[in-house]
Each structure stands twice: as structure tokens, then as C-alpha cells.
Amino acid sequence: MGYFTEDFLSFFVELEQSNHKQWFDANRRRYEQSVKRPFLDFVAEMLRRIQALDPSLAIDPRDCVLRINRDIRFSKDKSPYNLYCTAFLSPAGRKDKSQPGLFFRLGAREAGMLAGCYRPSTEQLERIRHAIEADPEGFRRLLGQEPLRRLFGELQGQRLKRIPPRWREAFAQEERIANKQLYLLAERDAAWILTDRLADELLEYWHAARPLNSFLSRAMHGGTDGV
């Protein structure tokens, strides 16, 4: 049996066509029953599985889940609701999105998984670069591991357009030191959300990303002892 019903996807299909408060208020009970509660239960299940392997991930499921309401203050799109559910499975959860972890988004169009570091601060990025500089070959081996490449492919992220003099020598050894973001991205068809394989296979993404997440976490906290 799957973790979500067909109505989980149907809700977002209909919300996309009627993304306004009147429709949402009329369907609020449906949202609670078919979307919000099942998603929170699923996040709790994922945390239980991960905590059995990594007890340091001590966080409440409610602190991992983003609200469905969009922040429209600086957006041209004033649609009030997101068309998906999002969870941040990391030590800080939704409170600090710079922390490495497994982030996933489930909606009617697709399921998306992101791991690594999407919004590092300037200080965090400096520390990551120092760690890569200390062992560029080890960093390449980490990114070349079979599960990571099979499930996520290449490391993603915006890069510096001009390399500062401080990092030019290191850049010659490993070009990804120029990344301003260091993350992995994967997408699956929305039908996957309704399968009973969802938790098992999502855990495979967590396993595949764990070496990179561990490296980034150590680096961000000042560790430069190699990969």
C-alpha cells in the first residue's frame, strides 16, 4: 500500500487551476486529510528510517515541513499557494536551508530530490573551498561514487564568473571550487509518489548523497581533514 492516495495529486492539479483563497478555504478539510497529514506522516517515517542510521538527525517532523503558503512579497506571481509539499531533512530543518541534507518536493507534476548545500553563506562557502583545496582528488572521488552518479548525476550550482586570485591555483586543480552552490538534483515522475516503493527508494537517494552531505557539513563547521 502506498503512502498517498490519488487525491494527493488531484488536489494539486485542481489547485493549479484555482490558486486562490476562496477555493482553498472550500477545500481546506480535503487538504488536511489528503495532503497535509499524509505528508507529515511520511516525513516522520523518513526521519525514523534515517535516524536509525544517523541518530544525530534529531529533529521533529513538523520542523522539516514548509507551509503551503507562498512568500509573495517580492514575487510577480501572486498565487498564494505552492503546488507541492516540501520537506527539509537536515539537522536544522526548514529553519536553516544552508545546512546539508535531503530535501524533497512532492507535487502533481513531479517529485524532486535535492541534496547538498543550496544556500551557503559567504563564510560557509569559504570553508567549503578550503576543504576542497585540501583534498581535490578526494573530492572528485566522492563525486564519482556510483550511487551518487546513478541517482543524481553531476554536481549542480552556480559558479563564479571570475576566479579571485586567492583561488586560481586551487581552481586549476578542481574547477568546482568556483561553485557558489554545491547540490545534487534528481527528478521522478509524479506517479512514483503513489507507489509503495516511495520511502525505500527515497532512502536510497539519502544514502547516495550522504558522503557529500557529510563532507559539506564537516567543511562548513571548519573541518578540513580531507574527504
Looking at residue 223, its pLDDT comes to 58
Gyration radius of the chain over CA positions: 19
Point out the residues of the chain with pLDDT beneath 50.
none
Q: Cβ distance 73 to 60 under 8 Å?
A: no
Question: Where does 6-220 sit in CATH, by number?
Answer: 3.30.930
Return the axis-axis angle of helices 122-134 and 136-143, rounded to nearest 10°: 100
pLDDT digits 0-9 by tens, 111-154 = 999 999 998 999 999 999 999 999 999 999 999 999 999 999 99
Looking at residue 97, its pLDDT comes to 85
Is the whole-model pTM more than 0.85?
yes
Looking at residue 123, its pLDDT comes to 95
Looking at residue 74, its pLDDT comes to 81
Enumerate the β-bridge partners of residue 113.
104, 186
Residue boundaries of the structural domains of the chain: 6-220
Looking at residue 76, its pLDDT comes to 85
